[in-house]
Amino acid sequence: MPSEVAAPVDIVILTNGPGELMTWVRPVVKALRAQLGDNARLSVVLSPCVHASGGEVAIATSFPEVDRVQGPDFFWSFLLRGKTAEAWDWWPKGVVLFLGGDQFFSVAIGKRLGYRIVTYAEWSARWLPWIDRCGVVSEQVKIPAQHQRKCTVVGDLIAETQSIGQDQKQIQQALGVSPEIPLMGLLPGSKPAKLMLGVPFCLAIAEALQPSLPQMQFVIPVAPTLSLQDLAQYADPQHNSVLTELEGRAAQLIQPEEGLPYLLTEGGTRIHLWTISPAYELLSLCQLCVTTVGANTAELASLAVPMVVLLPTQKLEVMRAWDGIPGLLANLPGVGTTLAKLINAWILKQGLGLRAWPNIWANREIVPELVGHLRPAVVARQIVDILLSPTALPEMRHALKQVRGQTGAAEKMATLVQEALALDLNREKPLAVTNPR
């Protein structure tokens, strides 16, 4: 039952990239709407992000619980001057909720609007003297004693993917497969740097697997920020210059009148394209997934789907998706290509330790991580060994269930928002200034 709220309230959700939108914002806005009902107006404000694809506004707008969305182009004007692109008005009472980006932004915007501030902390909780509530992933997040009363262990929001309902029969019909036919997911990423490498490499792996596993069906869950035409360009040597250097495979986009679209490789291997997002129900049907590092590994782990994680290093200058200063340097105009190659070579030489999220959580390698000058045929042989092993997949699935965490983090974050709102029940606040156009 939604809680009774005496007056309308604004919930301003600060976030940035596609991963945060799908794994953090999506479950939380559902929980907020369920707990606060229609008295809450949910506004998503996107901050600039080096990992952004350009489709974040469309993703946020697609969430039925969200009332308003502002893109990253107007973020600095909002942060520094309080002006939104569409001159949003504000209710007297509200909460600024941090779900991605820089935690400082929530403090600055919360103070400007006169709203309470709630943050979600995955690794470290910052600016605690100025916030009202903080949800942390686990007890491993260090909290000073004087601020512990503000903080609650809520769990991992990514684990919320477990609670998605699954209509397996409908998906199998759409793919044209029966439950007895094995299905493999290919997840090349959603950002250009990863797609440039991942698409041709995954296609080459699928083609190499076909002779050993003739019954295997392949599917790519297409990121919501990508069109089919854009995805297909990464399998076209005229648009993707690194394809041949990776021993990758070119493919042609086929869009039949009936059935799913697919990529058809030069060797005749068909890879279905699934455009419904999020694709959790589809991924749950996969016997194994081939993916790259990133949020994909966390989502697959939460679904307990076995995976092989790839990081080919043949074209170091292509990878520019690092966080922080390295990512900024690698994306500088003019010198970015050279710097990217140097930075990536140095990082790989130093050793990154574990890279896939389930391995980081477990502090051991429970899913294979293949890093280096990878060749599709060699990777395919390793995948065949895994699939033919009587113990590899069951052991991987069991280990993933152990580390993925419990559901309920989204509901707990929504409860923290309610607690923050309750702090103002007996306090009058001035109405935040409506922004002029």
- Per-residue pLDDT at 162: 57
CATH code for position 118: 3.40.50.1000
pLDDT in tens, 311-369: 887 654 445 444 444 444 445 455 445 555 554 555 555 455 677 889 988 889 999 99
Alpha-carbon dihedral angle through residues 48, 409, 358, 360, given to the nearest 10 degrees: 70
pLDDT at residue number 219:
96
Residue 234: predicted pLDDT: 94
Query: Does residue 161 fall inside a structural domain?
Result: no
Q: Which residue has the higher pLDDT, 6 or 394?
A: 394
Predicted local confidence at residue 193, as pLDDT: 75
**What are the beta bridge partners of residue 41?**
10
What pLDDT does residue 407 have? 75
Per-residue pLDDT, 291: 95
- For 126-163, write each residue's pLDDT tens digit: 999 999 999 998 888 889 999 999 999 998 888 776 54
The verdict on 58 and 71 lying in the same domain is yes
Residue 4 lies in a domain: no
DSSP 323-383: SHHHHHHHT-TTTHHHHHHHHHHHHHHH-----SHHHHHHTS-SS-EEEES--HHHHHHHH
Which residue range(s) make up the domain with 322? Answer: 168-403
Count up the domains in the chain and report the number: 2
When pLDDT is averaged across residues 403-411 and rounded to a whole number, the result is 82
* pLDDT tens digits for range 59-110: 899 999 999 999 999 999 999 988 999 999 999 999 999 999 899 999 999 9
H-run or E-run covering 69: strand 68-70
Q: How much of the chain exceeds pLDDT 90, in percent?
A: 54
Considering the domain architecture, whether residues 285 and 364 belong to the same structural domain is answered as yes
**Average pLDDT score over residue span 233-261:** 90
**pLDDT of res. 325:** 44
> Per the domain annotation, does 431 fall within a domain?
no
| Confidence label for 212 from pLDDT (cuts 50, 70 and 90) | very high
In this structure, are 391 and 266 located in the same domain? yes
pLDDT in tens, 300-310: 998 899 999 99
Those residues with Cβ within 8 angstroms of residue 167's Cβ, 6 or more apart along the chain or in another chain: 281
pLDDT digits (tens, 9 = 90+) for 168-179: 666 767 776 666
